[in-house]
Structure 1
Amino acid sequence: MTFNLSRRLAMGCAVAGAAMLALLAQSAFAVHTHDAHESHLKPVATISDIRFAIDTPQGQAEFPLYLSKDWNVAQPQVTRAVIVIHGKLRNADVYFRTAQNARDAAHVDPDSTLLIAPQFLATLDTREHHEPADLLRWKGDAWMGGEAARAPLPISSYEVLDAIVTRLADRKQFPNLQHVVFAGHSGGGQVVQRYAVAARNIDVLTSEGIDVRYVVASPLTYAYFDAQRPNAQGVAAPFDAAQCVGFNQWKYGMDNRPLYLDDRSPAQLEATYVSRRIDNLVGGADDDPQQSALDRTCAAEAQGPQRDARAEAYYRYIQARHPEGLKQSFHIVPGVGHDGARMLTSVCALSAIFDTRGCEQ
């Protein structure tokens, strides 16, 4: 009896010890991931002076964005809205100019298109620019994964996009709106890909017959729906968690999702995702495993060594899980490295955003 009790105690200690080690490893992963995305941060050069008031049950907060038209007055001539998301440098002004250049390259009537460039700020941005306390700001890059703002209210970055969607759905303001496009490159592409997974209220647009699409260009990583990851051949296979304890943590996978999307199962989120129209783009020369802005955490490395490999592997993964067909496309933009301006003004980006011709399907 004593032997059995000792054995049970030993086994219990071993299990508890293993659990503690796993918890510590997971915590270390989280810290490492956070540090990896904090080290680059510098205050933004410019913060938009246009403010969008966001009302929530907890109160009201202000959010900065760039607009090509005053959306506080009726815009009956607008038929298309393009929401372009900046990367981790939070330089929405640069992405707004890129969106303008893309519109001009597509030979689209500026009067018919509303360009929107949200600006997700870090706490150091508002501190550096002495912004008022009611301006939304996040800790580091937390906005990329839909986390709640640090202040003044715990509003998810996805809730901000929801609020923009709600504004665009107002038929008094936009009676002739036909298309809404979310587009992003790099960190912005990451936001767009996850928002395509998570977005709650897109039906306020689709119920009005408004076409909604997502243009995902060269994101750092993708959100996987199960514990598979690409093997050495780039084909999805069960992943050995011992290689990376946190490989399936959100935003790389479905574990420990933020509150915004934790009320839905991975299967529900996947069903929503595959129902969306998504155009996936990656630069043909975006294949440098040492590129300075590349996410090189073990969870990211589990998806592939660089963006080109990660993009191709993820698209194969989604195709294999849904052989019935997808409302998605995948295009490699030849000769382009990690360059947001060139990617978002490429022939295939213009086709996805503005319905121009010239991109081979």
Structure 2
Amino acid sequence: MLQAPSLAVRRHPLRPLAAAAVAIAVLAGCAGSPQTPAAAGARTQTPAAAKPQWQRVHLGTGAGYDFPVYANHRLDGDLSRIREVVFVQHGLQRNGDDYYAAGAALLKASGRNPDEVLLVAPNFPGTPDQGKGFDGMPQWSVQGWMSGENAVNAPFAVSSLQVLDDLLALVTDKSRLPGVTRVTVAGHSGGAQIVHRYAVLNHVDERIRARGIDLRYVVANPSSYLYFTPVRPAGPDGKSFAPYDKAVCPDYDKYRYGMHDIVPYARGADGLTLYRRYAARQVTYLAGTEDNDPNHRVLDKACGAEAEGPTRLQRARGYLRYERYLASPGVILRHQAYEVVGVGHDQARMFGSQCGARAVFGMTESANPDGAACRAPQL
């Protein structure tokens, strides 16, 4: 339910901000990556040696819950000048600080007025994060937050997808952000998995857009996608579709790859109904042409993921074909897709590419001459 949450923001110090180039290099927090300590965080106008801070925001209705985010403005301050909101979602390392730092660097490079852009990096606390200051907050299993599962610690039973609902409610509250006309939710790798599933499953998109706010999603190099029916890419070229062999993978169509045993947030959803709704939502897919290693160390190798293709690039191409395969007369796909030429599983180069920087930060190609080139998907 899309309701404006109450706000109780407190600031917490972490260790000093890393150099911008280093922050960009560790942006992704890819699924399967080893954990790293919390590093650089929120924007500050104090000297470089000052400690960056994250904000504890109170979300939800009723008793609600606290949740940590990095942002370039105080979320309990005056946000009346904000015109656009950009979310950048971390991956499995839950390193929202690094995502925030790299996003801030790209925002600066875009030439946009930072007083009019709210940059937010949500940080989902995981069960390994004890002692990192996330006390009294929901915690998720290491991969559960990517799928939309509920927090595992009492008394919280909130889905990570509901958290995104509540964050969107916060930034689209016209009483506090009257000027917001565009919201972008972007993720790479593990972050792209939750962004993609959120774009499919949430129930707030149409209501937000009906209020004159342009809501967009950017999905870059995820390890897997959510299929609406039991078919998967088939044939030697992956250009046909058929049910997958259950002898090879009995559970290939279970959530988070298919519709069976879906998370409580989306319980009762019908696959084709979801597809038709999703087709009308504004989604941009980005796939690196060199993200083509079937043995990549952080590639999802579960059989449900393997049913979608052997590499991230092939899974992306297969899913784009699948969207068109499902389209019936009258269905209009409002999705865009680009392949980023010469780039592998590299979040900084993906979001810094010509199509990536345009999708996330509205950055024109002329303002980004060094960004990697993009092309239409090779389907």
Write out per-residue CA displacement over residues 204-263 of structure 1, whole angstroms, 9 at most, x where no aligned residue. Answer: 421210000100000010000011111231222222222101101111011100110013
Could you tell me which residue of structure 1 aligns to residue 24 of structure 2? none
| 8 Å Cα contact 2:339-2:375 kept in structure 1 | no
What is the CA-CA distance between 1:39 and the residue it aligns to?
Answer: 7.4
What is the CA-CA distance between 1:76 and the residue it aligns to?
Answer: 2.3
Could you tell me which residue of structure 2 aligns to residue 355 of structure 1? 362
Could you tell me which residue of structure 2 aligns to residue 138 of structure 1? 140
Stretch of structure 1 that moved more, 99-108 or 302-311:
99-108
Letter paired with 2:315: R
Write out per-residue CA displacement over residues 252-310 of structure 1, whole angstroms, 9 at most, x where no aligned residue. Answer: 01110011001322122212211101000011111111111100011111001010000
SS of residue matched to 1:51: strand
Instruction: List gaps (5 residues or longer) in structure 1.
Output: 1-36
Q: Among residues 52, 56, 61, which one is paired with 2:57 in the alignment?
A: 52
Write out per-residue CA displacement over residues 83-105 of structure 1, whole angstroms, 9 at most, x where no aligned residue. Answer: 11101111111111121122123
Stretch of structure 1 that moved more, 263-272 or 243-252:
263-272
SS of residue matched to 2:247: helix
Take 1:55 and 1:328, find their aligned partners in 2: how far apart are those partners?
Answer: 30
Detail structure 1 runs of 4+ shifted over 4 Å in the superposition.
Answer: 37-41
| 8 Å Cα contact 1:41-1:140 kept in structure 2 | no
Take 2:31 and 2:80, find their aligned partners in 1: how far apart are those partners?
Answer: 43
Letter paired with 1:142: G
SS of residue matched to 2:217: strand
What is the CA-CA distance between 1:74 and the residue it aligns to?
Answer: 3.2
Instruction: List gaps (5 residues or longer) in structure 2.
Output: 1-29, 42-52, 366-373
Q: Among residues 322, 337, 340, which one is paired with 1:333 in the alignment?
A: 340
Q: Among residues 151, 154, 162, which one is paired with 2:153 in the alignment?
A: 151
Could you tell me which residue of structure 2 aligns to residue 92 of structure 1? 96
SS of residue matched to 1:102: helix
Letter paired with 1:343: M
Could you tell me which residue of structure 2 aligns to residue 197 of structure 1? 200
Decide whether aligned partners of structure 1 residues 39 and 233 sit closer, same or farther in structure 2, where only a CA change above 3 A counts.
closer
SS of residue matched to 1:294: coil
Decide whether aligned partners of structure 1 residues 131 and 114 sit closer, same or farther in structure 2, where only a CA change above 3 A counts.
closer
Larger Rg: 1
Take 1:307 and 1:104, find their aligned partners in 2: how far apart are those partners?
Answer: 30
| 8 Å Cα contact 1:139-1:149 kept in structure 2 | yes
| 8 Å Cα contact 1:74-1:172 kept in structure 2 | no
Correspondence list, 1:203-218, <5 A: 203-218=206-221
Higher helix share: 1
What is the CA-CA distance between 1:40 and the residue it aligns to?
Answer: 5.5
Q: Among residues 261, 270, 279, which one is paired with 1:274 in the alignment?
A: 279
| 8 Å Cα contact 1:223-1:252 kept in structure 2 | yes
Could you tell me which residue of structure 2 aligns to residue 224 of structure 1? 227
| 8 Å Cα contact 1:184-1:192 kept in structure 2 | yes
SS of residue matched to 1:176: coil
What is the CA-CA distance between 1:116 and the residue it aligns to?
Answer: 0.5
| 8 Å Cα contact 1:44-1:89 kept in structure 2 | no
Stretch of structure 1 that moved more, 301-310 or 75-84:
75-84
State how many pairs are aligned. Answer: 322
Take 2:322 and 2:260, find their aligned partners in 1: how far apart are those partners?
Answer: 18
| 8 Å Cα contact 1:287-1:306 kept in structure 2 | yes
Take 1:162 and 1:266, find their aligned partners in 2: how far apart are those partners?
Answer: 21
Take 2:121 and 2:204, find their aligned partners in 1: how far apart are those partners?
Answer: 19
What is the CA-CA distance between 1:73 and the residue it aligns to?
Answer: 2.6
In the superposition, the TM-score normalised over structure 2's length comes to 0.80
Could you tell me which residue of structure 1 aligns to residue 325 of structure 2? 320
SS of residue matched to 1:110: coil
What is the CA-CA distance between 1:140 and the residue it aligns to?
Answer: 1.5
Work out whether 1:171 is the aligned partner of 2:174: yes
Could you tell me which residue of structure 2 aligns to residue 243 of structure 1? 248
Work out whether 1:115 is the aligned partner of 2:129: no
Take 1:286 and 1:313, find their aligned partners in 2: how far apart are those partners?
Answer: 14
What is the CA-CA distance between 1:163 and the residue it aligns to?
Answer: 0.5
SS of residue matched to 1:49: strand
Could you tell me which residue of structure 1 aligns to residue 25 of structure 2? none
Work out whether 1:73 is the aligned partner of 2:77: yes
Take 1:233 and 1:119, find their aligned partners in 2: how far apart are those partners?
Answer: 39
Could you tell me which residue of structure 2 aligns to residue 304 of structure 1? 309
| 8 Å Cα contact 1:198-1:261 kept in structure 2 | yes
SS of residue matched to 2:60: strand
